[in-house]
Structure 1
């Protein structure tokens, strides 16, 4: 039994260290962040990111809620996309995947993502995948309804810094604090 667990752990570690970094709720699920703040200085369009959001098959059939997104790295670089929803185009329908091209400041490895939902319909994303030219693809697994009126998501910046050999202990992650 112990050997099987060790083998399973080694396989999981191998998957995480591959090209795509996976952030799973088994490691740490999404949470409400009362202290998350949008950066006051947003650079316009230095880099472009592809964001894929898969809506769960157990979500409402569609949502008219307003959905915003913020993500960034451990060094204070943050990308903010207000109002990525569009009910006219059936964005965020149940069992669908929506892809967005979002411009913002260039980041190092993305280690946090937060969603903000405002409305009455409800919405359950399954996963959010973010990729960019200068950053590896990273997937955050939600698979739970996003609460209304709060920033909700993941902050693994401390975890990422701890696993990066070239990171320095003097790095600041105040903009990404959970």
Structure 2
């Protein structure tokens, strides 16, 4: 679970940083390989989920990588600015070369399809999905507050009202998923 600005589960407010991100190109030299790394744009193949559709955008020019948010087994997540929709997003890059077997790839694709269909205020929304032979890119809602685990680790034991608020958000999301 992620925690958004203002104590909510996510941040929906439009970024006031439009002028700061006026360039339309990713700064791959400053931020590593980024979402459009390897020099190839993925303006084409959406993966069964929310999408711009084939040929309607060039990720390399549409999303400006701001900073790395984290990394995991299959790739990394970066904060990016979406110039088309004028908002901050999280861009998750999944390297297919890091996926060890076909069953894991099937599981990842199934999870993406399921998550793309969910629309709930306490569940991060997947806006768009792109795939080519080397990678899968997820463009997701950015929750500025970070991971719940990090939040609890940072603040230690939470006051009861705060713990209740978070618990209500979690149970609301779980209930929604099981309907």
TM-score normalised to structure 1 length: 0.27
TM-score normalised to structure 2 length: 0.27
Structure whose residues are more often helix by fraction: 2
Higher relative contact order (CA 8 A, sep 6+): 1
